[in-house]
Amino acid sequence: MKPTVLLFDVDGTLVTTGGAGRRAIVRAFETLHGRADACGFPFDGMTDRAIARRGLAAIGLEATAEAIDALLAEYLGWLGDEVAASDPARYLLHRGMREAVDAALEAGCAVGLGTGNVREGARLKLARVGVADAFAFGGFGDDHELRAELIRIGAERGAVALGVVRAEARVVVIGDTPKDVDAALAIGAECVGVGTGHWSATELRAHGATHAFDDLSAPGALAALLGR
């Protein structure tokens, strides 16, 4: 098998958190700026820094790097509480994900994250469902505000983990939104779409995903992931 880097998105792909992230960012805006109405827009596919930037602009504040950093630091303080308090019935590791990650590690793939979450936010969300330690590297929202660029960084880190140069590695982005597909295509990677978020497998395939499945337990999904 060609050296393979797998980059998993977090929200909507690996897990559904029942809104823990949104509640935490709203509480951060309330704490720092006295506003709970900054984020009246969908977060799907957005990086944490982009969410903070748009929220600050929505309440008429300049989205400086310092303002974004302060907001995300406050957000992380609330996120641990929100994750811990989330209803277990609504906080889910999606079907097939644990088995897919285990199979990829056994096959010798470099298994990492490609997520708009800042690194600590991703860790907190995945620790709740017991899979945080499976991902040794990644491209994160604190690496870059643009999804394609953080995916590129994750791909480079994965290649290093495999002991090859990026051009020698097969890179696969696993995601649930058109923005995941776009980021994969922007760096010449494959994309395995999963219909576990707000877009169906059919919609992700039509958008350009290399493969798409209802979830990774579907027939053929693991073979597509591993390139077999």
Task: Outline which parts of the chain fall under CATH 3.40.50.1000.
Answer: 4-17+90-226
pLDDT value of position 45: 84
∠ CA 8-71-63, rounded to 5°: 100
The CA distances from residue 186 to 71, 174, 207, 221, 228, in Å, are 29, 14, 13, 23, 24
**Parallel, antiparallel, or unpaired for β 110-114 and 138-139?**
parallel
pLDDT value of position 192: 98
pLDDT value of position 74: 98
pLDDT value of position 44: 87
**Tell me, which fold does domain 4-17+90-226 have in CATH?**
Rossmann fold (3.40.50)
Task: Outline which parts of the chain fall under CATH 1.10.150.
Answer: 20-85
pLDDT value of position 1: 79
**Sequence-distant (≥ 6) Cβ neighbours of residue 59 within 8 angstroms:** 29, 33, 35, 37, 38
pLDDT value of position 59: 97
- The 10s digit of each residue's pLDDT in 22-55 is 999 999 999 999 999 999 999 988 999 999 999 9
**Sequence-distant (≥ 6) Cβ neighbours of residue 76 within 8 angstroms:** 24, 118, 120, 121, 124
Q: Which positions of the chain have pLDDT values less than 50?
A: none
Residue 43 exposure: Cα atoms within 13 Å on the Cβ side: 24
Please count the residues of the chain: 228
CA 71 to CA 77: how far, in whole Å? 10
pLDDT value of position 228: 85
Q: Which CATH number fits domain 20-85: 1.10.150, 1.10.3290, 3.40.50, 3.20.20?
A: 1.10.150
**Coil vs helix vs strand at 169:** coil
Q: How many distinct helices (H) and strands (E) make up the chain?
A: 9, 8
- The 10s digit of each residue's pLDDT in 94-118 is 999 999 999 999 999 999 999 999 9
pLDDT value of position 137: 98
